[in-house]
């Protein structure tokens, strides 16, 4: 049993050492590592099981006493079942909700760019039909040649300006990526979707899953 405690302590220390002090989980993770043993008994003090916020950690986990490596298996199970798991479930639920919303907005942005490129294709098709008509039916090449020259010249300057600003080739893939990114960012703002919150939740869920895995063998 002592071996399990030492192994669990080592694994939790490894996870804790990987947590950046700039994340919102840093205080919670450090606090869980040093929870007072008096809090391990539900009969003495009941910790809140609602994990929708990290604010409870400042009230319940603020003590600097106690040592994880000296905790009994019962205490370790309490920390895992009543602190880590409820918080992990809440953050997974929030992360899933944000991911569903993000995927829906990404699909809207993708379809929006599809419609835009379809409109561009239609414009180019109309241009081809008009130039063909002017060249072979109503007018001649002497009339159409300056027009096609100006169109090609404008396209060359657009490609040069694109490369100077974007540092990439002026091609279909890069243009589509730019348009989709701008459309996605606009949709995120309109629907109040914080991508930074989603990325932070991914990191926090990964950290909490690592802590839970470190305590899986303690039953």
Q: Provide the pLDDT for residue 12.
A: 54
Mean pLDDT of 149-162: 86
- Look at residue 136 and tell me if it is in a domain: yes
195/192 Cα distance (integer angstroms): 9
Residues 209, 187 within the same domain: no
Q: Assess contact for 207 and 19: CB atoms under 8 A.
A: yes
Residues 82, 15 within the same domain: yes
- Look at residue 191 and tell me if it is in a domain: yes
74/60 Cα distance (integer angstroms): 18
Residues 161, 92 within the same domain: no
Residue 40 — pLDDT band, cuts 50, 70, 90?
Answer: very low
Residues 111, 141 within the same domain: yes
Taking the model in full, what pTM does it have? 0.64
Residues 41, 108 within the same domain: no
Residues 106, 187 within the same domain: yes
Q: Provide the pLDDT for residue 28.
A: 56
- Look at residue 219 and tell me if it is in a domain: no
- Look at residue 69 and tell me if it is in a domain: yes
- Look at residue 45 and tell me if it is in a domain: yes
Residues 10, 78 within the same domain: yes
- Look at residue 122 and tell me if it is in a domain: yes
81-120 pLDDT, tens digit each: 888 889 999 999 999 999 999 999 999 999 999 999 999 9
25-37 pLDDT, tens digit each: 555 555 555 443 3
Residues 28, 92 within the same domain: yes
Higher pLDDT, 146 or 47: 146
- Look at residue 132 and tell me if it is in a domain: yes
Range(s) of the domain holding residue 113:
99-200
Residues 103, 195 within the same domain: yes
Residues 186, 108 within the same domain: yes
- Output the CA torsion sign for 187, 193, 194, 200: negative
Which regions of the chain does DSSP assign to beta strands (E)?
A: none
Residues 133, 206 within the same domain: no
- Look at residue 138 and tell me if it is in a domain: yes
pLDDT higher than 50, residue 178: yes
In terms of C-beta density within 10 A (0-12 exposed, 13-18 middle, 19 or more buried), how is residue 58 classed? exposed
Residues 74, 134 within the same domain: no
Q: Domain count of the chain? A: 2
Q: Provide the pLDDT for residue 173.
A: 85
């Amino acid at each position: 049993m002592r071996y399990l405690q030492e192994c669990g302590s080592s694994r939790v220390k490894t996870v804790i050492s990987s947590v950046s002090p700039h994340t919102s989980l840093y205080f919670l993770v450090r606090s869980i590592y040093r929870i007072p043993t008096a809090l391990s008994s539900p009969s003495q003090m009941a910790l809140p099981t609602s994990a929708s916020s990290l604010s409870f950690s400042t009230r319940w986990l603020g003590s600097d006493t106690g040592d994880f490596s000296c905790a009994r298996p019962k205490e370790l199970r309490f920390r895992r079942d009543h602190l880590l798991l409820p918080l992990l479930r809440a953050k997974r639920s929030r992360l899933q909700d944000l991911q569903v919303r993000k995927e829906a907005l990404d699909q809207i942005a993708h379809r929006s760019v599809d419609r835009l490129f379809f409109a561009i294709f239609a414009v180019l098709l109309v241009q081809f039909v008009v130039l063909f008509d002017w060249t072979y039916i109503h007018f001649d090449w002497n009339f159409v040649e300056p027009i096609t020259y100006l169109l090609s010249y404008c396209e060359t300057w657009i490609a040069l300006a694109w490369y100077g600003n974007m540092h990439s080739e002026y091609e279909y893939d890069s243009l589509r990526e730019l348009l989709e990114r701008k459309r996605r960012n606009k949709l995120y703002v309109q629907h109040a979707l914080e991508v930074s919150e989603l990325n932070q939740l991914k990191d926090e869920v990964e950290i909490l899953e690592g802590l839970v895995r470190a305590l899986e063998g303690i039953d």
